[in-house]
Amino acid sequence: MSNERVRRRVNEKVKEKLKEIETQPEIRDPNEPPVPILTRKEYGDGYGKVGRHVEVKVNSFEVTNISKYNKFFKYNIEINPIDKDIEVDVKRERSDYGKSIRRRVLKELSLEMEDWFHKVVYAYDGGSTLYTTSYLGFDKVKDVKAVVKEEISIANLQNLDGEPTRYKVIINRLDTIIELTQINKYINGEEFEWEFFSDEAFNVLNSLIHKVGMENEKYIQSGNSSIYNKENKKNINGGVELCLGWVSTVRPGQGSLFINVNPTYTTFYQPLNLEEFLFQCFFPKYQNIPNEINAFQLKKINEILKGLLVKPLHLEPIQTGRRIRRLLAATKVNRFRYKPRADSEETFPLERYFRERYKLKASSRLFVELMTDDDTSIAWPVEFCKIIEGQRYSNKKLSGKQRGEIILLAKFKPSINEQETIRGAKEILQLQNDPTGVGMKVDPNLAKVDARVIKSTDVKYAGKIMKPNNGQWNLKDVKFVESGERLEFWHVVIFEQSKWMPKGEVINFIENLARQCESQGMSIARNRPEIQYLQYYNKGPNVVKQAYEDARDILRRPPQLIIFIIPGEKSPINTELYETIKRVMDTEIGCLSQCVSVDSRKNFRSPQYCANLAMKINLKLGGVNSILPEDKLRLPSGEEVLFLGADVTHPKDKNGKSICAVVGSLDNQAGRFITKYQDQERSGKEEILEIDKLIKEILREYCDYQKRRSRVKNNEVITLPPCIIMYRDGVSESQFERVLRWELPKIREACRLFRQGYEPKIIFSVVGKRHHTRIFPVDPKNRMEADKNGNCLVGTIVDKKITHPTLNDFYLQSHFANQGTARPSHYTILHDDIKLTIDEFQGLSNTLCYNFQRSTSSVSIPAPTYYAHLTCARAKMYLTTHRGNIYLPNVHRNLKNYPMYFM
């Protein structure tokens, strides 16, 4: 790489870092005292008593002896190719391949320099950290901070001339010693500091337990804790393969450490010829790849190809790899020159060279430009490229059809999940055989834990109370609590050809839907809306605006609602069209919309399907489908509560923006919620920087709503709820203190600024689903322990043994899983002014899972948190780029009176 290019890249990185520092406020002053820790002991013994007691198994294995070594030494290690930068401009999921290469280099180094590693157990994370049980051989003199540099060649990784790829290895001893003795104090609850969540002792142990799997070439490691079996895979649509694997981490429990093991899966590129991959992924309906690829298709192709590692078939047996920059037509490589060898002085016109030297097909019109370590331009014909095995395929790029296939293949029944958990622990990680080499002993059986099953909550409809059975009920002979605005002026737009979606079939569907809406108690005119066919291709947002204008002309007034029937998941425009409709209708026009997929046409006659749509439409029009008993939502003191939910979602690229959402309840039955969102600079941080602004807006909307409902005068002061309970999503354990330190004072400040003297009592809790803990019934055939699918019963709570030794946390499985193994949600109470008992908080959290308004079953997280998650997902669709700047528009003012427009 040229010095100028290196200098340019370094300057760009520095500018990015400075910009990030300037745009992000400092959350934590190092001189500030730590945030007080709310411990389990502050809730009595911290364990619930309510419910029927049962015993369950969990997918964790107890560590009975941690290590015969009390301390580990830390080294910084750099492993970089001498000839080329293999990870330039590569997204995170592609960097796993680089980690596997670095592990191979380190293993080769340990064999060549055996005396350095003599009687030393080491653990390597695949990145820049190496842990050892004693000083390495070159570093025995403790007074000298040694740095060693070596070159290692890997024979079957070559450059374009067939020479082994050379890697420079730099190992630098750090003055860091990791003590394992501190872990015992941690798990016994003797000591706890927030920093323990990122204690390096856990990094050491996690690196050690993955060592065996990583030294076996049958396996691929992805991230820091997942191992995938290359021999256990299934091909799915579009040139992608699904690999089964195991995620495993060392977790603290009460008095013990546990190794949590869970079957998982991920997608990889099939190691196909690149031409075949393009054919399968983008042109499955064609006989050949078309000569002309339009701009829309080319953009989609390059999103999936950029950074992909391919090897050249025309240079066999040379095994080299190059990353793709982009796909190009042959006309775009006219200026490219081809150099047969790195040391060759002669170059040739690229296309002519391949055509004459390798008899390139006359029909071949596609090349891929490759990433290089200098300023030269290199390209290979697509038919001469082979995708290298073991490269992650980003889940964000999967089509709807691919996701459907994955769901069918990867939904493990609880019994299968349990078997695979044990297999992963025994065969892959080999936990029973001290795979770490440090004397670790692990119980070979799944841990058994005391649990409780608490009762379901009644759900109230108009004149009827439903008593859920294992978290489920139905809408038969049930009317909604309150109808939304009477639906009279609506319109239907079909973005599909009439031969695929006949008008007669649509008319029948709309009539079925209207009848069902009426039977559920909605106020709806029986006039049939007009049906319009439109084409989306190459028209973008304008066609959605046209649909609205046409509807307004036909109705002679603005429509209340437009139903869009859009192409199914197999269509490449499905997601883009859906997002365009929501962005334009919500932010530019201000009209309610309901999208229906052509894939659902088989259900158009189904009363249940139409009832599910009716639930969404009634909510959007301002109605309330169901409510919860008020006594379940009021506190024992009789005080009312404002329920809040909050979430943050981050963009897939470094130039995007994070979306934050906060929702708040508007009534005492927690039936209606108001949602507020904003964007902030992407930083990897979870704090909602301006949460005070969002809270004040929610309080204002709360008062406005109460005034409208109570018909009070404008100058009359609305009583605000004396208590607030926040269910915060999207926070990892290592960020608990940061989020609590920033957001809790901001909520308090917002309340004070909104109304002088308003100082509510607050519970701040975190609820998460991004974890790998699963619970299994001891006897799956016992209906007092398990449901018909073999999962634990809805309402099962675990708050002992595998939970945190100090903090007040618990696992609650509040939903029924139709397929696969249910995933309990993990709750942690970080702050509590209200002083609920743990039983009261657990019961309240379970109750709020029964009021997700568009479902006839309990859900896995409380409704406020679910709504915040949906709001983030919807707001992400609004992000717009204008003149190189990304901005997030507000919801149109026309939707102010429809707070649940996003349902």
- The rounded distance, in Å, linking the Cα atoms of 298 and 886 is 23
- The rounded distance, in Å, linking the Cα atoms of 65 and 730 is 33
Give me the domains of the chain, ranges plus CATH numbers: 61-271+401-445 (no CATH), 274-388 (2.170.260.10), 483-620 (3.40.50.2300), 637-771+825-895 (3.30.420.10)
Residues 6 or more apart in contact with residue 420 via CB below 8 angstroms: 244, 246, 263, 412
Task: Say whether pLDDT at 439 is over 90.
Answer: yes
pLDDT for the residue 400: 75
Lowest mean pLDDT among 73-77, 358-362, 378-382, 648-652: 358-362
Judging by DSSP bridges, how do beta strands 122-124 and 147-158 pair with one another?
Answer: unpaired
> How does DSSP classify residue 40?
G
pLDDT in tens, 844-894: 999 999 999 999 999 999 999 999 999 999 999 999 988 778 889 999 999
Tokens at residue 146, please?
């040694």
- The rounded distance, in Å, linking the Cα atoms of 865 and 44 is 28
pLDDT for the residue 685: 79
pLDDT band at 362 (very low <50, low <70, confident <90, very high): low
Tokens at residue 879, please?
């992000």
Q: Is the dihedral of CA 151, 157, 161, 164 positive or negative?
A: positive
How large is the average pLDDT for residues 359-387?
Answer: 80
Contact 890, 669 (CB under 8 A): no
pLDDT for the residue 15: 45
The span from the first CA to the last CA of the chain, in angstroms, equals: 52
How large is the average pLDDT for residues 397-415?
Answer: 85
Q: What percent of the chain has pLDDT over 70?
A: 92
Q: What is the reported pTM?
A: 0.91
| Biggest CA pair distance of the chain | 89
Rg (CA), the chain: 30
- The rounded distance, in Å, linking the Cα atoms of 354 and 706 is 74
- The rounded distance, in Å, linking the Cα atoms of 464 and 715 is 37
The 10 Å CB-count burial string (b at 16+, else e) for 182-203 is ebeebbebeebebebbebebbb
Beta bridge partners of 267: 242
pLDDT band at 564 (very low <50, low <70, confident <90, very high): very high
Q: Could you give phi then psi for residue 677, rounded to 5 degrees?
A: -140, 165
- The rounded distance, in Å, linking the Cα atoms of 209 and 248 is 8
Please give the mean pLDDT across all residues of the chain: 88
Task: Say whether pLDDT at 686 is over 50.
Answer: yes
Least Cα distance to 184 among 163, 166, 207, 201 occurs for: 201
Task: Say whether pLDDT at 604 is over 60.
Answer: yes
pLDDT for the residue 19: 45
Lowest mean pLDDT among 81-90, 246-255, 317-326, 447-456: 81-90
pLDDT in tens, 798-836: 999 999 999 999 999 999 999 899 999 999 999 999 999
Beta bridge partners of 532: 493
Contact 530, 562 (CB under 8 A): no
Secondary structure (3-state) at 259: strand
Task: Say whether pLDDT at 296 is over 70.
Answer: yes
Q: What angle do CA 243, 244, 245 make, to 5 degrees?
A: 115
Least Cα distance to 57 among 781, 785, 784 occurs for: 785
pLDDT band at 88 (very low <50, low <70, confident <90, very high): very low
- The rounded distance, in Å, linking the Cα atoms of 729 and 769 is 9
Q: Is the dihedral of CA 197, 201, 204, 207 positive or negative?
A: negative
pLDDT for the residue 22: 41
Q: Percent helix, strand, coil in the chain (nearest 5)?
A: 30, 25, 40
Q: Is the N-terminal amide bond of 777 cis, ω within 30° of 0? A: no
pLDDT for the residue 10: 39
pLDDT for the residue 95: 62
Contact 524, 487 (CB under 8 A): yes
Task: Say whether pLDDT at 28 is over 80.
Answer: no
- The rounded distance, in Å, linking the Cα atoms of 676 and 890 is 9
pLDDT in tens, 167-186: 999 999 888 899 998 899 99
Lowest mean pLDDT among 93-102, 204-213, 839-848: 93-102
Contact 74, 177 (CB under 8 A): yes
Lowest mean pLDDT among 287-291, 641-645, 839-843: 287-291
Judging by DSSP bridges, how do beta strands 164-179 and 71-81 pair with one another?
Answer: antiparallel
User: Which residue's entry shows tokens 């409208």?
Assistant: 708
pLDDT in tens, 126-174: 889 999 999 998 887 665 667 888 899 887 788 777 888 889 999 998 8
Amino acid making up residue 599: D
CB atoms within 10 A of CB 129: 18
How large is the average pLDDT for residues 64-75?
Answer: 94
How large is the average pLDDT for residues 769-791?
Answer: 95
Residue length of the chain: 903
Amino acid making up residue 472: Q
pLDDT for the residue 622: 95
Task: Say whether pLDDT at 665 is over 90.
Answer: yes
